[in-house]
Each structure stands twice: as structure tokens, then as C-alpha cells.
Structure 1
Amino acid sequence: MLYALKIAIRYLTANKAQTALLVTGVAVGVFIFIFMSALIGGLAEFILSRTVGDISHITIEAEDRDPAVLIEAVPGVRAVSPQITGAGFLTRGAQVSQVSVTGVEPGRESAILDLDGYIVEGTARLGSGLIVLGRDLADDLALSLGQTVRLQSSGGATALLTLSGIFETGNGAMDGARAFVSLPVARTLFAMPQGVTRIEIKLDDLNAADATTLRIRSLTGLDAVPWTDGAEQLMEALNAQAQTGYFLKTFALITIVIGVASALMLSTYRRRPEIGIMRAMGAGRNFVVFVFVTQGALIGLLGGILGAALE
């Protein structure tokens, strides 16, 4: 077999231009294959990060108790955010805007939504008497940092709050109608001395939402809902994208194989006299086949290494 390898290498070096062309063709094909894999995989990750990255991976609607400590002990849970949510009205002078109020624990402002990362003015830190608003909402009310605004809940309770931060997510619905306050402020506004209305959970792996939801349900007895519920269209789109990626990568791989095989068949056809000489000297059919298969393998190996290096 060592002698067959030497013959295969000699065939490769006998026509350097043809060998270089074959190796380059394989390298380009491998480069395209790797590039397409990275592109399709990266696109899927980007879509998931933009659609699911800033939302709760698992949501629990709860009113009577706060099982956050139990949930934090579940493997795979990155962060837990107990919240009190409700509707309200922001008033500054004669200007009034309807808002969706979210009360979060101080220190957990960015547990689910990366509020720190979206802050464009001030700080995301919440405390007693502070409020954080979206850019569009602040502009509608002509508010700037340090100014006072009146927040009234749907139940009629009011609080005077100081604007401590302005965020901008690029989502018009959120930037124009979301207000964040501390959990104690929300308890006062919505008359909830204990418990929470919602618990949002962020996972290390969002694809493990279904399995983690089952663990949380069995642990707390509460109706936990994964982000995949109601996201059928997104999942179908991602699956369709993955299937398209498999098709394109398979097509690229087949093209590479056909190109190399065609070139080797032509090379084999041209070397019929040499094959006849080898057979006359006692070389078996398997030996001849091994020579040309080794030649193709070397071309594939060199092309693959070169194509991977181009990445």
C-alpha cells in the first residue's frame, strides 16, 4: 500500500496545474460549505436573540405567593424576576398618557429585559419614588431626567415619581407605553401588600424551555408557560430555514464530489496505458483502484484543509 501511495503522489505531481485546479475547486467548495453553515446558524441565532432574547423564556401567572427562591434552584435557570404588572396613566400638567406599568425588584431590573443595555439617559436602577420610561413616552410628555410625573393606577391610587432613566429598545410599542417602577411602588399602586402577578424566568438555554417548564410545574404547582407556546410560526420559520440550509449544503457537497470524481475519471482514462503496464507487472485490480482512490483522497484532504484555512 505504501507503494500505491507513492504512485498516487507521483500522479498528483506529474500535472501540477491540474492538481492545483482540483485542490482549489475543493477548497472553494469547502469554504462555501463552511460559510453557509456559519451564515445559516448565525442567522437563526440572531433571529432568536432578537425575538426571544429580551422576553421571558418561562412565565408564571401567580397572585398569592412568590416562589422565586424555589425556581432559582432549578438547574438551567439563569434569572428570576417577580413582577407586579398593571395599567395606569402618566400625567404631567395637562398631558396624559396611558401606560403599561411593570414593578420589578430593585437589583433585578435587567434580569429579563436588558434594561441597562437599553438605557440612553440616566440609570436603570429603581428605588422608592423613581420611574424609568421609554424614549417615545418621555418625548410625548416632554419629560427629562429629574422631572416629576404623576402615575395613577387603574384602581385610582397615585404616586409622584421622579424620572431616573430613559431607555430605547427600538420597539415602538415598548418605548411608547412601558413604565418601570420598583416592586414596593407597584404594591402601593395596585394594592398588593404581598404576592406578585407574574414571575418571568430567563434560562441559560432557551431551547430547554419545555423541559424546564415541566420541572417548575412539578416543583411549585403553578401553571408555568414556556415561550414556545404561541410561537409556532417562529418555530416553523426556523425549521424551514434549517431545511433550506441542509439542502444548499448537500447540493454544495454533491457538486464538490462530482467535480473531483469527473476529474479523476478523466485522469484514469488518460492513464490507461500505465494501468495496463501495472496490470501486466502483476498489480491486481484492487491495487489500481487504491491508487486512484488515494489520489482523490489526497486532493480532498488538501482542498479541505485549504478551504477551512480560508475561514
Structure 2
Amino acid sequence: MRFVWTVAWRLLRDGRFQTWLIVGGVTIGVAVVVYITAIIDGLQVNIIDRTLSSQAHVVLRPAERLNQRAWDARAEVRTLADVRKRTQREATIGDVDAVLAAVRAVPGVQAAAAVASGPGVAQQGGVRKAIVVLGVDLADFQQVIRLDDKRREGTLSLAAGEALIGSELASDLGLAPGARVRLQSASGEVLSVRVAGVLDYGVQDLNRRRVLLPLRDAQSLLGYGREVTEIDVRVQRLFEAQRLAADLSRVTGLTAESWQAANGQLVTALRSQSASGLMIRFFVTLAVALGIASVLVVSVVQRQREIGILRAMGTPRQRILAVFLLQGGIVGLGGSLLGTALGAALAVGFTRVARNADGSPLFPIVLQPELFVSSAALATLVGVLAAWLPARRAARLDPVEAIRG
């Protein structure tokens, strides 16, 4: 093995210009892979965070009531009372504590919260705005949807008779923390509440319409008694929400909708980004492999006489093969180490250049240890595989023809 290392190193050192040229190519290739991957992963994390920061991963609701066929035993025919879809009144979930306990017992569920929601109107000084009332237990709800990073004014509390409103609604009605606002439900029930805090969800429609109330106040205002309209769920593994939605539906008998089903266009965009990143990495890797192979082929041609002498001295084909495979591995490993460092530096530099108006990064860059390890391993493997054909050619050289040539 020492012989293989010695010969491989001398060949690389003697052709140092070619060696540094291909190491530079591998470095740039790996840097591009690391940089593109970090950018795409960071962009996806940012998009998902912005989209899901104000919605649950899975939402459980009562199933819609469908028309039932009537059976006429004498005529032995089935008839429909009405071919039109049945008008749906607001369906609710009873026995909330039992349902929550069943949901939280499902493996993979991180948190669950009961929500009583319904339409209403907010009125202040003769101005009326359509709203969506959400009654929640604040402690449970914050485990599903984080609110502390959305507070803009006031306090994050929901005592009886208090409300948390969106920033657009506060601006439209001229409300500030401490002010009172009159809420009216679609059924005509009226409730006067004090604004405890103003939230910014990052979504204009939510800022204009969403009003959070204590669960009991919302149930009373909307006429639900002790029932709720949905169960919001947060899962431990984000991309397993679709599978968990099926499990939760089976356990509870409710209709379950995952964030993937509710955001079909987002999922399509994420898949397109991942596919684009994969294609970029594939062609960069292919270019690196061709570069390594071409340099080693030239090395075999240039070192043909030396290889012939080694073969004439009794060096086995396997050792000649190992020499050039080792060269490919060394070039791949050296380039990958330099490339991962360069790619990480470029990614960090991007976050310092691309910034929002407030000076914060445009979006986070994801640099995980797995990315460095996988990139280095892939580049080393590509180097060995790219050296395979040149190594076989060197090992198959006839000693007499090689020395004569």
C-alpha cells in the first residue's frame, strides 16, 4: 500500500499544474453544489415558515353531511329526495376533552388546541368591519401557532372580556390596546371586549379579519355552547403531516386536512425547487467527473513510459490500477474540502449582502453538517469513479509497447 501511495503522490506532484487545475475544478464544483443547496434549503424553510406561521399543520373538522338515498322496499328502487348538495349549517365537535386526548395520544403529534370559529362584525364609532372570530385557549393555541413573535402592541393575554386583533383591523377601526370594541355574531349575539394586544400575522387578510377571543367568550358569542368547530394540530415532523392526517381522521372520525392539502400550489413550488436543485447538482457533478477523467487520461498518456517500466519490473496490474484510483480519490477529497469551505463562505456572504429594508437577512441560509459530509463523500466517490477508465487503461498497457512508445 505504501508503494501505491508513493507513486500516486509523485505523479500528482510532478504534474502539479494539472493537479491544481483539476483540484480547482472540483473545488468550484463542490462550492456551487453547497451554495445552491444552502440557498434552496434556506428559501424553502423561509417559505414554509412564512406560510405555516399562522396556520396549523393539520386541521380536524366535522365531516359534511351528505344526502342519503331512500329505500323503497315495495318498488325495490332507490330514490333521491334532492339531487342538490345539502345546505351545511355550522357543524361542531362535542366532547372536546375526549377528542383532544385522543389526538394528543397519536404518535407524531406535538400539540393540539380546540378552536371555536365563526363569522362576525366588529363595530367602532359607526364603522363596521367583517371579521372571523377565533375562540381559543391561549396556552394551548400558542403551542400550535406561535404568537409571541407576532405581537406589535399591548400584551399577549386573553382574559375573559379581552381580545387580540390584527394590525389592519386596529388601523381601520382606530383601535389601540386598552380600547373597547363591539363584536356581533351572525346570530345577533353581541359582546363588548377590551383590546389586549395587536398582532401582525404577516398576511394582510388575517391582519384585517382575525379576532382572537377566550374560548368560552367565543362559544357564547357564536352560540356553540361547549362545542368547538375544529381541532388544530401541530406535528413533530412537518412533512409527515399528510400521513398523520389520515391517522387522526381514523382515530377521531373527523375530517382531517393537512397543510399540504391546503397549500397545493406551495407544495408544487417546493417540489419544483427541489427538482431544479437536483438537476443543477447532477450536471455540476457530471462536469467535475469529466474534468477528473480527462486530466487522468492525459496523465496516463504522459506517463506511459514510466508505467511500462513499472510493469516490466513486475508491478502487478492491480497496483497500477490502485495508483490511478487513489489519484482520483485524493483529487476529489482535496477539492471537496476546499469546495465545502468556499461554498459555506459564499452562502454566509450572501446573507450579509441580500437583506431586507430593516437590515435583517432576506431569508436564512441552511448549512447543516450533513451537507458538508455528503458533498465531500460524493466528490471523493466521483473522483474514484472518474479515475476508473483511465486506471484500467494504465493497468492494461503492454510493458514492451509502453516502453517502445
User: TM-score range, shorter-chain basis?
Assistant: over 0.9
Greater RCO, 1 or 2 (C-alpha within 8 Å, sep 6+): 1
**Alignment match, 2:156:** 124
Contact 1:116–1:123 (8 Å) recurs in 2: no
1:72 and 1:32 map into 2 onto residues whose CA distance is: 43
User: Is 1:305–2:340 an aligned residue pair?
Assistant: no
What amino acid maps onto 2:122 in structure 1? L
Assess, with a 3 A threshold, how the Cα gap between structure 1 residues 13 and 42 changes in structure 2: closer, same or farther.
same
Alignment of 1:73-92 (within 5 A): 73-92=105-124
Q: Which runs of 5+ in 1 are unaligned?
A: none
- CA apart distance, 1:126: 0.5
Alignment of 1:7-18 (within 5 A): 7-18=7-18
Query: More deviation in 298-307 or 151-160?
Result: 298-307
User: Is 1:2–2:2 an aligned residue pair?
Assistant: yes
- CA apart distance, 1:222: 2.0
TM-score by length of 1: 0.93
2:145 and 2:192 map into 1 onto residues whose CA distance is: 25
User: Is 1:244–2:272 an aligned residue pair?
Assistant: no
Q: Give the SS at the match of 2:115.
A: strand
Contact 1:77–1:203 (8 Å) recurs in 2: yes
1:292 and 1:219 map into 2 onto residues whose CA distance is: 60
**Alignment match, 1:49:** 49
Q: Give the SS at the match of 2:95.
A: coil
**Alignment match, 1:234:** 266
**Cα deviations by residue, 1:107-147 (Å, 9 ceiling, x for unpaired):** 23423332221010012211111011111111111111111
**Cα deviations by residue, 1:249-305 (Å, 9 ceiling, x for unpaired):** 010111111111111111221112212222332334443332222222211122122
**Cα deviations by residue, 1:195-249 (Å, 9 ceiling, x for unpaired):** 1111111111121112212322232222222222243332222222222111110
What amino acid maps onto 2:95 in structure 1? R
**Alignment match, 1:36:** 36
- CA apart distance, 1:45: 2.4
- CA apart distance, 1:57: 1.5
- CA apart distance, 1:99: 0.8
Q: Which runs of 5+ in 2 are unaligned?
A: 63-91, 345-405
1:204 and 1:221 map into 2 onto residues whose CA distance is: 22
Assess, with a 3 A threshold, how the Cα gap between structure 1 residues 137 and 53 changes in structure 2: closer, same or farther.
closer
Alignment of 1:269-280 (within 5 A): 269-280=301-312
What amino acid maps onto 1:259 in structure 2? G
Alignment of 1:202-241 (within 5 A): 202-241=234-273
User: Is 1:292–2:324 an aligned residue pair?
Assistant: yes
Which of 300, 305, 315 in structure 2 is aligned with 1:268?
Answer: 300
1:173 and 1:57 map into 2 onto residues whose CA distance is: 19
TM-score by length of 2: 0.73
Aligned residues with identical type, % of pairs:
32
Contact 1:76–1:212 (8 Å) recurs in 2: yes
What amino acid maps onto 2:194 in structure 1? T
How many residue pairs match? The answer is 311
User: Is 1:200–2:232 an aligned residue pair?
Assistant: yes
Alignment of 1:130-169 (within 5 A): 130-169=162-201
Contact 2:138–2:214 (8 Å) recurs in 1: yes
